[in-house]
Structure 1
Amino acid sequence: MTSPTASPVTAPRILARCRALVRPALSRAVRQLHPWHAEITAFSLGWDGVDGDDVPGAHGKGVRQALAVLGAEAVGAEARDAVPGAVAVELIHTFSLLHDDIMDGDETRRRRATAWKAYGTGPAVLAGDALFAQAVRTLTDAPGRQCAPALRLLAGTLTDLVHGQADDLLFESRPWTGPDAVRAQEYRLMAERKTGALLGCAAGLGALLGGAGRTEADALAAAGRHLGVAFQAADDVLGIWGDPAVTGKPVHGDLGRGKKTFPVLAALAAGGPAATELAALLRGGPLDEESVRRAAALVEEAGGRAAATAEAHGHLERARACLESVSSAPDAVEEMLTLFPYIVDRAL
């Protein structure tokens, strides 16, 4: 039990501890790439060179790394057992961001140029492919007898990831209303695949590499998947109403791009005058600055923002419930429970 004088275990402390544990192995994995790919990867990770320090404000929080480490600790294993899994999921996450930024046409991430803007589309695609291969190699080289189930989990995750990304892109060509409109349940499934699968994989890999049985590994993976849906709903709120100083993206950015996100879909499904006006506005084609502001107000008036917040909190509760069957190391589970709301509530 923590003594009254001990420093509180906060989410930032948890993330920092896990990043520090994983960073040496992650740097070694990046150094094994072609020097050009290593340079692009270091840039994407927010590092000052492959062996340099983090660039302030340009690096990620390391959420997936932390989930892998905590997944191992939650089943009573040593944190170091999870390091190959943590490295693999971070490489896959970086690969997905490199390709996502190209597909979405995003020119900035974490308040600086995306890799394809800095290095070109071809080099960014190739660097992503190299990261994909390196992630598989990292797990293949992991010690112990859990390599095969770990690889199976990663392979299934990659299938889900590209499936979810395909659905997300296809949603853009579907109408806002009518029988072919995107439904909330379709969006949830897309979010679980695109975002939740890798978070679930991180926690599940940590458990597997820590020697856990299938029941505990599956429970942790399910918790991560629910966390992913919660995170996506919260991120959708941030994509419309987020502070550009925090997000590094323009306010109402997702609306301006006509992106189908949970708050908008929920608002349209709610019915009523605000939903009717919103549908007419969206069907009218690209929105100018004034129309985007009006659309954001209508989404909120129709209940879209509240619905997305409720969606995030609902899946957060489901994620917590999944951890109830994991009891090998209560302190590590408690750290996961500390981390989960921090990840989601940043936008709410």
Structure 2
Amino acid sequence: MTTTPTRRLSAALDTGRSMLETALRDAVQRYLGPEMGRIADYHFGWADADGKATMTWGGKLVRPALALLSARAATGTAAQGIPAAVAVELVHNFSLLHDDIMDGDATRRGRATAWTVFGMPEAILAGDALVTAATAVLLDAEGADARSAARSLMTATQRMISGQAADVAFERRDDIVLADCLRMAGDKTGALLGCACSLGAELVGADQALVARLAAFGEHVGLAFQLVDDLLGIWGDPDSTGKQTGADLRARKKTLPVVAALNARQTDELSALYLRPEPLSERDVQRVADLVERAGGRDWAQDEAARQVAAAEECLAASGIADAVRSEFLEMAGFIVGRRF
């Protein structure tokens, strides 16, 4: 029986989950103290607020699955990539804990967010504990280049933080140019995804040319994902996204389609409407969406997402990795980017 891409992708994610869960739990138990561990257990869905074990574990584990795949790309085994997968997932969840606080989100994956249950200071500290644990996991790993992998992960983490800081700063600025916005999105979203695609390979001792190509692949995919996410934030179907159509416009976010439109010529009405301090009415939100589309923001974002995907494919084509592994990378990229709007 022929295995379809969908089945291969599902199998890859399931394999990543089964290989990762025990290692991730062990890392939390080993590197986090009891109090921070209790918050992490809740955040991951392993326990309720009282510490009682639960059967839920949210998240698709895309980043750790990519880390396992990258170890295979360097002719290692998926098992050799487990420390990289655990470390990437710890950093990702550090960012989620902090993002929930910054965004004031009360729910994640159908449950109350950690900061609403344990308090804001405690959730911040739990996030800090996760990112330090990620470094420890790699430094304690047996991989040929564990120290180099730890440095790469921390570099990606710093870029992610810088991107998030820029995103926050953009909310107070009216002079954003498209190059700034692309740089912010590349740091905020692309850096960690690029690291996930290369960290397993680096850990098992791959040459730097392969590590660089895998990282570039992931960064292009990450930027394509952000472009699609920004499109969904304006024109997405609420049944698919779980958010109101135009949600990002109501929040006055400086997303890529909006900035592309604001940087276009003859956008005086859009600038006056979107950058004014008064709240947008529902009629205003629809008008802004129309103006962004008329100024070319929607078409530019769709075309740029396609360009980023094509660039990612070129990185893999030049990497020389096995066809089967390359196909799995491309299927993962399609899963990450292939959302509808």
| Structure 2 CA distance for partners of 1:47 and 1:310, relative to 1, 3 Å | farther
- Tell me, what secondary structure is at the counterpart of 1:188? helix
User: In the alignment, residue 120 of structure 2 is paired with which amino acid?
Assistant: T
| 1:106-185 matched pairs, under 5 angstroms | 106-175=105-174, 181-185=175-179
Contact 2:81 2:204 in 1 (8 A): yes
Contact 1:46 1:60 in 2 (8 A): no
Counterpart Cα distance in 1 of 2:326 and 2:234 = 33
Structure 1 counterpart of 2:183: 189
> What is the CA-CA distance between 1:218 and the residue it aligns to?
0.9
TM-score (norm 2): 0.91
RMSD over aligned Cα atoms: 2.0
User: In the alignment, residue 249 of structure 1 is paired with which amino acid?
Assistant: K
Confirm or deny that 1:228 pairs with 2:228: no
- Tell me, what secondary structure is at the counterpart of 1:53? coil
Structure 2 counterpart of 1:312: 305
Confirm or deny that 1:284 pairs with 2:253: no
Contact 1:216 1:326 in 2 (8 A): yes
User: In the alignment, residue 12 of structure 1 is paired with which amino acid?
Assistant: S
Structure 2 counterpart of 1:8: 4
Contact 1:111 1:248 in 2 (8 A): no
TM-score (norm 1): 0.89
> What is the CA-CA distance between 1:52 and the residue it aligns to?
4.2
Contact 2:64 2:196 in 1 (8 A): yes
Counterpart Cα distance in 2 of 1:120 and 1:197 = 29
> What is the CA-CA distance between 1:142 and the residue it aligns to?
0.6
Contact 2:36 2:126 in 1 (8 A): yes
Contact 1:91 1:131 in 2 (8 A): yes
Confirm or deny that 1:337 pairs with 2:336: no
In structure 2, runs of 5+ residues without a counterpart are none
Counterpart Cα distance in 1 of 2:151 and 2:300 = 35
User: In the alignment, residue 274 of structure 2 is paired with which amino acid?
Assistant: L
Structure 2 counterpart of 1:178: none
Structure 1 counterpart of 2:339: 346
| Structure 2 CA distance for partners of 1:182 and 1:223, relative to 1, 3 Å | same
Structure 1 counterpart of 2:18: 20
Deviations 1:68-113 (CA, angstroms, capped at 9, x unpaired): 0111111211001111001001000100111122222233333443
Counterpart Cα distance in 2 of 1:302 and 1:7 = 44
User: In the alignment, residue 191 of structure 2 is paired with which amino acid?
Assistant: A
Equivalenced residues, count: 334
| Structure 2 CA distance for partners of 1:99 and 1:210, relative to 1, 3 Å | same
Aligned-residue identity in percent: 46
Deviations 1:226-254 (CA, angstroms, capped at 9, x unpaired): 11111111111122233344333333221
Tell which deviates more after alignment, 297-306 or 76-85. Answer: 297-306
> What is the CA-CA distance between 1:280 and the residue it aligns to?
1.6
Contact 2:80 2:143 in 1 (8 A): no
> What is the CA-CA distance between 1:306 and the residue it aligns to?
2.0
Structure 2 counterpart of 1:94: 93
| 1:188-337 matched pairs, under 5 angstroms | 188-272=182-266, 275-285=267-277, 286-337=279-330
- Tell me, what secondary structure is at the counterpart of 2:263? helix
Tell which deviates more after alignment, 299-308 or 142-151. Answer: 299-308
| Structure 2 CA distance for partners of 1:48 and 1:249, relative to 1, 3 Å | farther
User: In the alignment, residue 205 of structure 1 is paired with which amino acid?
Assistant: L
Contact 2:149 2:203 in 1 (8 A): yes
| Structure 2 CA distance for partners of 1:289 and 1:162, relative to 1, 3 Å | same
Contact 1:110 1:247 in 2 (8 A): no
- Tell me, what secondary structure is at the counterpart of 2:5? coil
User: In the alignment, residue 333 of structure 1 is paired with which amino acid?
Assistant: R
Counterpart Cα distance in 1 of 2:183 and 2:243 = 26
> What is the CA-CA distance between 1:171 and the residue it aligns to?
0.9
Deviations 1:242-278 (CA, angstroms, capped at 9, x unpaired): 3344333333221111110001111222334xx3322
Counterpart Cα distance in 2 of 1:277 and 1:108 = 36
Contact 1:160 1:193 in 2 (8 A): yes
Counterpart Cα distance in 1 of 2:188 and 2:85 = 18
In structure 1, runs of 5+ residues without a counterpart are 176-180
| Structure 2 CA distance for partners of 1:308 and 1:109, relative to 1, 3 Å | farther
Counterpart Cα distance in 2 of 1:316 and 1:108 = 31
| Structure 2 CA distance for partners of 1:92 and 1:289, relative to 1, 3 Å | same
- Tell me, what secondary structure is at the counterpart of 1:270? coil
Tell which deviates more after alignment, 202-211 or 7-16. Answer: 7-16
